[in-house]
Structure 1
Amino acid sequence: MTLLKNYITGFLNRSGGYVFTATIASRVLSFITSWIALQLLTNKSLGEVLYAWNIITFLMPFIGFGLHQSYIRYGAITHHTNEKEALLYYVLKKGILTSFFLSLIVGLVGFIFPFKISNTGIYLSIFSFIFVPSFLVEVIKIKARLFHQNKQLAFIEIIYHCLLIVLVSLLSYVLKEIGYIIAFITTPIFVVFIFRHSIINTPKLKKPSFIDIEFWKYGFFGGLSNVASMLLFAIDILLIGYLLEDSEKVTVYRYISLIPFSILFLPRVFITTDFVAFTERITHKTYIYNYIKSYMLLFTILSISFVSFFFIFKEYTLNLFDSSFTSYTDSFVILNIGVCGVLIFRGLFGNLLSSIGKIKVNYYITGFAILINCVSNYYLIPSLGIKGAAITSASLLWFTGLSSCIAFFYYYKPQLPTSTV
């Protein structure tokens, strides 16, 4: 238990408690924001806006061509302050430019493409202005992480969501759905203004020598990996609706998966806090192996506790949503078991793969899992219904987790020099 105690103490010393609190607060504030929008906008107009926003969400990992993701990995393995500053200047210069072009392309598509849902094109074009400020916010947050300022990272998250609530309330009340969209665009602009000191004084330094095609590929595959991960979680809902042609079953699956998938914020909190720390020491074999053992011990205990609790109280839990949901307890338990594959393995080893520069492996694993998901659900959903989707999801969450673990130990070469950077 000393290993576990030291791990938690280290997490707290790196301001992990602030990150944890900010994550919980952000989720609560996001829920309040959604509730306010529901009160101020009609279901029809809000649905049209959210449809356009869902498209933006899938494009968001590609802001700056993913350079913000390259920034955190290469910034962590770069030990000289001048090189970190030179890297920041390069990422800002190129990232703003590529984000602008993404906005231009999405804006033109919004005007040209004939979407079936009314107003989607107009809303998409307006939303396209969010890419540049969102990229700058990500860079500001990553800089805080690189300099071990996780407390500031937590403040940025809370301020962002507090501003979003205020702006959504005011602008949606005055301008309705257009105001709602403007609120999402102006929130990151205000955040950038508040924390502008993080980037405004960045010196114009020469491009670091380690920036090459691999640097750009890392960011691009990071974006692909994030999109693939979102698809992996979203595809069950799409296939249930398509294969069963029953909107009620879609609603049931969405709610019985709500609790299992919500617990996945926990590994994100720890990785957000620790990614820079373990990337800086990625070639230190003893440190990395101790980190792996500590992480897996903690999340194995949490997983067993989580599954046990909701197995015992499965009927009571589902009854909180709707009494009819209690007939889906098997699917609920299966999903709870499935997310443990992410808690114990994927959350850790997927990021360790990114840390050693093998982020494309994450994309390949997730992409293959999506293919299996489609084929498996095509046969299991018609015969087993929601349980078929739950079995597929649970199996693939363990598959991606274990695959990430195997891939990491295959590629990990701790005897290599600390960095060529």
Structure 2
Amino acid sequence: MNNFTLFLKDFFKNKGLMVFSSMLIEKLVGLINVIFVVRMISEKDYGTITLIASLFGVLITMNGFGTIQGLLRYGSLEKEAKDKTILANFIFKEGLKRHLLLMLLFVFCSIFYELKYENIWVIIVFFLIRMLGVYFYSFILSYYRIQYQNNKFSIISIFINCFGVLISIFLTYYTGTMGYLISLAITPWLALFFYKKEIYLPMSLPSLDFEIKEFWNYCLNSSFTYLFSETLFMIDVFLIGYFLNEEAVANYKVAIILPMNLMFIPLIFIQTDLPKIISNSSNKSYLKFYIHNYYKIFIPLTIIILIIGYFIKDWILQFVFGNEYQENGWIFFIILFSVCCNMCLRNLYGNLLSAIGYVKQNTIISIISIILMVLLSLITIPFFGIIGLAISLALTFISMGICSAFIFRSYLMKI
């Protein structure tokens, strides 16, 4: 119990409540926004936007080709605040160049949707504007995190998300689908109100305890890990769009919104403590301490979530999104089960693997999971439709988590 008390004290000391508040608000306003938008625009328009949004969600994980993840890890390893800033300055400029290439890749991949869906280029342009804004937004947040300023990190996140949802509701209400797209494009740019001037000033690269080649290798592998992990969420939408239609895409996406939003809960602790975990990545006692106390929270929590989810599965979607989505209760519960498994396995051990520098192993797990997801989906969708896809995603999530846990446990035995 003393260890658990210390675990919670560290969480509060690192402004964990502020991080919790910011992430809770982010998920709540995002959910409110989706509920409002689903009711305000047509099912077909929402399904089409979801297709591009899913592609965007996959590629944006490569933000600056991994420079955001690189800043977080290597910035956390720097001891002096000045060196953190100089490193951030170097990473910002190099990352921006790579991010522009990512935007070109987004345009190229979007061409394939043009073959089936008309007038989709308007949506693509707005998401392209959003993609550049997200780079600035993510970089500014990571800068404050490596400086251990979780308060500032949380304030920025709360401001962007609250103001963004107000813009979205206002514009969608008065101008429909176009207003929703405009709000998506401009929201991340609000982060520029919080930029630090010194980030953009010319500075020489400091003497570092690692090779630049090592840094870029970590960044690239991190970007691939996040890309392949997020690809799972594009594959499911792509396969439904291929085998079924836009309405099926909308039904599936609405059914998984509530369960998927619960994934922010473990990230509250991981995001708060990640810089400290990175700095203790070779400390076996600390890593075991963190895992044991993490489970003291999340095993009981996931059991409670599953019990509640089972009893509300038949009416929650109808209540939140409308009568047209009432037949998706079992999809909701299957995805909820997979999310709970993810909380206890992949969310924990995947982030721990990144913290200790095992990005190649994370990438391999992600690639294998994509292959598994495709194979399972090709078998289940033709026979069971959307429910088959939900089962495939659940099995893939669980497999990823088990593999991640096994690799991390092996690392613990070596140190």
TM-score by length of 1: 0.83
The correspondence of residues 270-349 of structure 1 with structure 2, limited to 5 A, is: 270-315=269-314, 317=316, 320=319, 333-349=333-349
Structure 2: segments with no counterpart, 5+ residues: none
Residue 230 of structure 2 corresponds to 230
* SS of aligned partner of 1:282: coil
Any stretches of 5+ residues in structure 1 without a counterpart? 416-421
SS at match of 1:119: coil
Deviation at 1:285, TM superposition (A): 1.5
State percent identity of aligned pairs. 25
2:66·2:223 contact (CA, 8 Å) conserved in 1? yes
Matched letter for residue 204 of structure 2: L
Relative to structure 2, which stretch is displaced further, 151-160 or 404-413?
A: 404-413
1:255-296 Cα shifts (integer Å, max 9, x gaps): 554443332111122111111111111112111110111112
The amino acid of 2:65's aligned partner reads F
Distance 1:110 1:311 in 2: 38
Shift of 1:410: 2.5
Instruction: Determine if contact 1:110/1:122 at 8 Å carries over to the other structure.
Output: no
Give the whole-Å Cα distance in 1 for the aligned partners of 2:156 and 2:384. Answer: 45
Cα gap change, 1:188 to 1:282, in 2 (>3 Å): same
Residue 74 of structure 1, CA deviation: 1.0
Check if 1:405 corresponds to 2:395: no
Q: Which residue of 1 aligns with 2:139?
A: 139
CA displacement 1:63-101 (0-9 Å, x = unmatched):
322211111011112223343222111111111222234
Quick one: which amino acid aligns to residue 83 of structure 1?
A: D
| 8 Å Cα contact 2:62-2:226 kept in structure 1 | no
My pick for the range that moved more, 331-340 or 129-138, is 331-340
After superposition, where does 1:233-248 map in structure 2 within 5 Å? 233-240=233-240, 242-243=242-243, 245=244
Q: Is residue 2:4 matched to residue 1:4?
A: yes
Partner of residue 261, structure 1: 260
Using the TM superposition, give the Cα deviation of residue 332 of structure 1 relative to its aligned residue in structure 2, in angstroms.
5.1
Distance 1:123 1:270, change over 3 A: same
Q: Residue 89 of structure 1 contacts residue 202 of structure 1 at CA under 8 Å; is this kept in 2?
A: yes
Secondary structure of 1:118's aligned partner:
coil
Q: 1:255 and 1:125, CA in 2 relative to 1: closer, same or farther beyond 3 A?
A: closer
User: Is residue 17 from structure 1 mapped to residue 33 from structure 2 by the alignment?
Assistant: no
Larger gyration radius, structure 1 or structure 2: 1
Residue 367 of structure 2 corresponds to 367
Q: Which residue identity lines up with residue 288 of structure 1 in the other structure?
A: L
Please report how far the alpha carbon of residue 118 of structure 1 lies from its aligned counterpart in structure 2 after TM superposition.
2.8
- Structure-2 change in CA distance of 1:84 and 1:343 (3 Å): same
Change beyond 3 A, Cα 1:156–1:101: same
Contact in 1 for aligned 2:270/2:351 (Cα 8 Å): yes
CA distance in 2, matches of 1:385, 1:408: 36
The two structures, once aligned, show a CA RMSD in angstroms of 3.6
- Write the letter of the residue equivalent to 2:11: F
- Residue 149 of structure 2 corresponds to 149
The question of whether the paired residues in 1 share the 8 Å contact of 2:89 and 2:199 is answered with no
Change (3 A) 1:256 1:126: closer
Secondary structure at the aligned position of 1:70 is classed as helix
